[in-house]
Amino acid sequence: MEHGFPLPPGAVIGILGGGQLGRMLALAAARLGFDVAILTPETDAPASRVARQTLVGAYDDPDALARLADLSDVITYEFENVPAAAVERLKALGAPVAPSGLALAVAQDRVAEKTFLNEAGVRTVAFATVDSEDEALEAARLIGVPALMKTRREGYDGKGQAWVEHAADAGAVFAGLGGVPCILEAPADFTRELSIIAARGRDGALAVYPLGENHHEGGVLRRTVAPAPAAAALVDQAERIAAQILGRLDYVGVIGIELFELADGRLLANEIAPRVHNTGHWTQDGCEVCQFEQHIRAVAGWPLGPTAAHARVEMVNLLGAEAEAWLKLAGEAETRLHLYGKREALPGRKMGHVNRLSPL
């Protein structure tokens, strides 16, 4: 299949992953006239029910990847735990993939991520690599306590991490996390958690959304308020961070960058997500072009759309049985309801979100 950008309507966007982000990407792609093919290990995945075609298979299944490459004009992914080797396999088959495998590899390993950020001129908390109980003790001595130990790979929503309160306990904390490679991070004395959603097109053009202010409960994002109140200097600093990261990665698509604001006004980067991001869901109802359409535009080689906010939004995640209040929520004039089509409302599971709008 010939791949030429910009892709015309009727082209096929392949998506690795069938969850809610893939679903919302597929809906955005359909509105622009694209068809979507999903590769997911799940049957009856949320994204499958709004896509033209679903391939059910493992992300590293060579046959499934070959079929996706054959079907698709460009391939993207909805979450960063897709094996980087799968992206390399797709590239070897001649399929364009965006964002790049480099972005995926950096985001999958917390040590690689913070090392990359520092090399890109972006500040982070102090950190140390931990591969053994002895290294855990030494890292705690160097970093100081309390400090946060995280597995280098695959932790999310507060999983795969634990606090080291006393240096002598660092080895036991490492063992408690399974004895897998870890990172020890100094705590950030932050005043609030922010995020910036940004996009880079195939032509290098940048589009940056207003800052969001994030509130977590139990390691899970509970709500985002955007645009966050912020001085121009803080916004400029966040936009510079986004530009440095996107340029260094030669990135194509939407990225989420989580930030800590310190009392002195400096920003530290906490982590990056090479995909559309939960803290950007507010853009669906608060911006001229939302993050999902922006991502499709970028990977398809289209011009990026405007990111200006036309409303203030409080985005609240609906967890578990909270989504059962859909009728009440649908009746609130200021509320826009987004449900993910998941079949079972497990405790703590993200079942949807609401965007509550107010004037700027």
Q: Give the pLDDT of residue 81.
A: 86
**Band of residue 170 on the pLDDT scale cut at 50, 70, 90:** very high
Q: In the predicted model, what is the mean pLDDT of residues 141-163?
A: 88
Specify the pLDDT at position 1.
Answer: 37
User: In this model, does residue 256 exceed pLDDT 80?
Assistant: yes
pLDDT at 204: 97
Q: Is the pLDDT of residue 299 over 80?
A: yes
Q: How far apart are CA 213 and CA 196, in angstroms?
A: 9
pLDDT of 345 strictly over 50: yes
Residues 38-66, mean pLDDT to the nearest whole number: 97
Whether the predicted pLDDT of 41 surpasses 50: yes
> How much of the chain, in percent, has pLDDT values that exceed 70?
98
Per-residue pLDDT reduced to its tens digit, 145-155: 999 999 999 76
Question: Please, are residues 304 and 298 in contact by the beta-carbon 8 Å criterion?
Answer: yes
Q: What pTM value is reported for the model?
A: 0.95
Give the pLDDT of residue 154: 79
Residue 27 has pLDDT above 60, yes or no: yes
Cα separation of 40 and 37, whole Å? 10
The pLDDT assigned to 159 comes to: 74
**Spatial distance between the Cα atoms of 50 and 29, rounded to a whole number of angstroms:** 10
Give the tens place of pLDDT for each residue, 212-231: 999 999 889 999 999 999 99
In the numeric block, which tokens belong to residue 220? Answer: 């899970």
Mean residue pLDDT of the chain comes to 96
How is the chain split among helix, strand and coil, in percent rounded to 5? 35, 30, 40
Work out the average pLDDT over 234-244: 98
2 band by pLDDT with thresholds 50, 70 and 90: very low
Residue-level pLDDT at 118: 98
The domains located in the chain, with CATH, are 12-97 (3.40.50.20), 126-185 (3.30.1490.20), 190-358 (3.30.470.20)
User: Which amino acid is present at 352?
Assistant: G
86-114: pLDDT as tens digits = 999 999 999 999 999 899 999 999 999 99
Q: Which pLDDT belongs to residue 219? A: 82
- What is the per-residue burial (b if ≥16 Cβ within 10 Å, else e) of 321-333? ebbeeeeebeeee
User: What mean pLDDT comes out for the span 300-328?
Assistant: 98
Rounded mean pLDDT of 196-210?
98
Sign of CA dihedral 17, 21, 22, 25: negative
Please name the residue ranges forming H helices in 278-345: 283-286, 291-299, 326-330
Phi, psi of 90 (to 5 degrees): -65, -40
Mean pLDDT of 313-322: 98
| 330/244 Cα distance (integer angstroms) | 41
Is residue 101 within 8 A of residue 112, CB to CB? The reply is no
203 pLDDT more than 80: yes
Question: If pLDDT is split at 50, 70 and 90, which confidence band does 352 have?
Answer: very high
Quote the CA–CA distance of 268 and 324 in Å, as a whole number.
38
